[in-house]
Amino acid sequence: MMANIQQLQDLTTQVRRDILRMVHAVNSGHPGGSLGCAEFLVALYQEIMTRKVGFDMDGKGEDLFFLSNGHISPVFYSVLARSGYFPVSELATFRKLNTRLQGHPTTHEGLPGVRIASGSLGQGLSVAIGAAQAKKLNNDTNLVYTLHGDGELQEGQNWEAIMYASAKKVDNLIATIDLNGKQIDGTTDEVLSMGSLRAKFEAFDWDVLEVAEGNNLEAIIAGLNEAKSRTGKGKPVCILLHTEMGNGVDYMMYSHAWHGKAPNDEQLAKALEQNVETLGDY
């Protein structure tokens, strides 16, 4: 556990630096959504989840996390490394030949912390539901967490899973939606409007809560703790996390343009100036 909010903020700043440097080094990757979810994943791994020392795929007796929108792998890898799953120095291999840190997380390289391959969008919730039901069968009282992009919910498989989870009372599951209103080709409203996600999840009989300040660590921690308090009551829980794509880098924010675009040398330098090193670069 981190001791205070300032330590969490320092770690979040370092995670942002990792994301920017990783994507810049290979001129490929997805910085926008990664930056927008930095606070969430730092809070989840450092404050919220019950985790064991070491890693095993069974995950018995600990909370599990599944990243469904796998293209934001830079933030996932950074948080995993800085939470002790593998050496921070390995971040330098991101998207390189024969690396364990593929552009989208995979499992055959055996990277600690990665439980499913998530290159194809829309599948993470289905896997998480299976894991949550397995915990119930094993009398394991720990929880299963997931993260999804809002644009990802345009994939139909999500809605089959959402319907199933409530029908089968999978109430040890907390699904968080990164609600930034943007995807690779524009705003979610322009590409395929989904209307009110709260109304949709509630219509599918989920317990829904919103975190309006999805890039505020204290608000995120409070929201996740509230979500935990609602588990075990017959309904799966959904958090609508209002974030900003590209958060922490002024020229990346408020636009979908940086969904999958790497900064050049000058842009990297400017972004790093806005996020001063706190814990040491890899």
Share of the chain above pLDDT 90, in %: 97
CA 109 to chain centre: 20
* Domain spans in the chain, listed from the N-terminal domain onward: 5-273
State residue 20's pLDDT score: 98
State residue 100's pLDDT score: 97
Using an 8 Å Cβ cutoff, are 260 and 19 in contact?
no
Has residue 3 got a pLDDT over 80? no
Mean pLDDT of 9-37: 98
Q: How far is CA 199 from CA 32, 145, 228, in A?
A: 27, 21, 21
CB count, 10 Å around CB of 80? Answer: 26
State residue 119's pLDDT score: 83
State residue 250's pLDDT score: 97
- Concatenating the DSSP letter of every residue in 67-122 gives ESSGGGHHHHHHHHHHTTSS-GGGGGGTT-TT-SS-SS--STT--TT--S---STT
5-273: CATH topology is Rossmann fold (3.40.50)
Using an 8 Å Cβ cutoff, are 62 and 17 in contact?
no
Mean pLDDT of 2-7: 80
Mean pLDDT of 261-271: 96
On average, the pLDDT of the chain sits at: 96
33-47 pLDDT tens trace = 999 999 999 999 999
Has residue 2 got a pLDDT over 60? no
Q: How far is CA 61 from CA 51, 151, 171, in A?
A: 8, 33, 17
State residue 1's pLDDT score: 47
Mean pLDDT of 163-184: 97
Share of the chain above pLDDT 70, in %: 99
Mean pLDDT of 65-85: 98
Overall pTM surpassing 0.85 (yes/no): yes
